[in-house]
Amino acid sequence: MILHELLSYDVLRVIWWLLLGILLVGFAVTDGFDLGAAALLRATGKTDVERRVVINTIGPVWEGNQVWLILGGGAIFAAWPQLYAISFSGFYLAMFAVLVCLILRPVAFKFRSKREGTAWRNGWDWVLTLSGWGAALVFGVAMGNVLLGVPFRLAPDMRIYWDGSFFDLFTPFALLCGLVSLTMLLMHGAAWLVFKTEGTVQARATRWGMVAAVLTTLLYVIAGVWLAKLSGFVLTEAMSTTGPSNPMLKSAAVGQGAWLANYAKQPALWIVPALGVLMPLLAALGMKLRREWLGLLSSGLAIAGIVLSVGVSMFPFILPSSVNPQFSLMVWDASSSHLTLFIMLVSTVIFLPIILAYTSWVYHIMRGKVRVEAISEGKGHAY
């Protein structure tokens, strides 16, 4: 109870905002490389054996990577119930498209090598490739729409109304964000393949990874310049950071370039987007020089910088409303109760280290290169 009293409501809200960012980065970095590697399957593997090499680099670990998606969804549901309700209902068709991609992947992993037929295996290879591309694009488009503002409104009794349609999500800026997400994950997947393979597959992954890395930096810079010219969201009056979770109690407005205001107040925050600009180039250099750890680590840091820069730009907003800025959800007015946040934090402190320890152990056991010879001889590879 003493700790509960020391961690005030506003502190717990910020802690959970930070934890949500960490969980999103964890998902993007871990599941990102297997989505990216799958998307590059047909580009890096030209023969059946080479494609099995690619699949076996991600086959043993992709299921564990999904834990971060579950943790992120659970955190949103418990810590930010209004965010969960609005985003999961408004983005329903987009999330359904992502789920189709994520559901088809395990089927492809399991069924691809069950038959020897070329058409059979090529079909499942296309499923893996297209599911990687599709999920990466939709994740980025969703993030772009969050920055633009989402077309929802709240009734006086807090009922949620969505005024947009599925096709309204595909605006030029949102599509640009989708391309940033795609090239980012292609870069990360290529860095993983460079790290886990050798020979011809590694050489092809290097070429694709370098192109994707340069495109990631270029597209991210273009998106940043575009964002600076877009209208963001700002508070027009000071609000209580410990008040009730009721978005109707604040006063907010739209202002051009508002998403860069936090960087003007705290210039040290420019370190975050700087990672998104510089780390892809370092990843490209690492892949070119065969510094495999450097390439993989740099691509992971690039993803962290790109994802976290969205949160830093928007803080304290977490889901703006393009219908009426007053309806926007913020760190201070859309969370669960003080007690709920505290109980969840205690649970996280207990279980997150266990998840990290187990994940580290799995990657340690699965360490080493996947080689063509081992695949051809059927030595310990299931895919």
Q: What is the pLDDT of residues 184-194, one digit of tens each?
A: 999 999 999 99
Where residue 308 falls among pLDDT bands split at 50, 70, 90? very high
pLDDT tens for 250-271 read: 888 898 889 999 999 999 999 9
Quick one: angle between helices 92-111 and 81-90, nearest 10? Answer: 80
pLDDT tens for 62-103 read: 888 888 888 888 888 889 999 988 888 888 888 888 889 888
pTM of structure: 0.92
9 pLDDT above the threshold of 80: yes
Beta strands in the chain (DSSP E): 152-154, 160-162, 231-235, 252-256, 317-319, 329-330
Query: What integer pLDDT is reported at residue 249 of this predicted model?
Result: 85
Query: What integer pLDDT is reported at residue 31 of this predicted model?
Result: 87
Radius of gyration in angstroms for the set of CA atoms belonging to the chain, rounded to a whole number: 22
Query: What integer pLDDT is reported at residue 380 of this predicted model?
Result: 59
Per the omega criterion (within 30 degrees of 0), is the bond before 316 cis?
Answer: yes
Please state which of the ranges 87-91, 179-183, 196-200, 311-315 shows the lowest mean pLDDT: 87-91
Query: What integer pLDDT is reported at residue 124 of this predicted model?
Result: 92
Query: What integer pLDDT is reported at residue 3 of this predicted model?
Result: 63
When pLDDT is averaged across residues 335-355 and rounded to a whole number, the result is 90
Where residue 213 falls among pLDDT bands split at 50, 70, 90? very high
When pLDDT is averaged across residues 196-202 and rounded to a whole number, the result is 91
Beta strands in 172-260 (DSSP E): 231-235, 252-256
CB 236 within 8 A of CB 251: yes
Q: Where are the domains of the chain?
A: 2-377
352 pLDDT above the threshold of 70: yes
Cα 154 to Cα 76, 159, 326, 337, 357, distances in angstroms? 19, 6, 9, 20, 42
Query: What integer pLDDT is reported at residue 210 of this predicted model?
Result: 96
Identify which has the larger pLDDT, 260 or 378.
Answer: 260
The percent of residues in the chain predicted with pLDDT above 70, rounded, is 97
When pLDDT is averaged across residues 223-233 and rounded to a whole number, the result is 92
Where residue 180 falls among pLDDT bands split at 50, 70, 90? very high
Residues with Cβ within 8 Å of residue 358, at least 6 apart in sequence: none
pLDDT tens for 123-172 read: 999 999 999 999 999 999 999 999 999 998 888 888 888 887 778 888 99
When pLDDT is averaged across residues 274-289 and rounded to a whole number, the result is 95
When pLDDT is averaged across residues 176-199 and rounded to a whole number, the result is 95
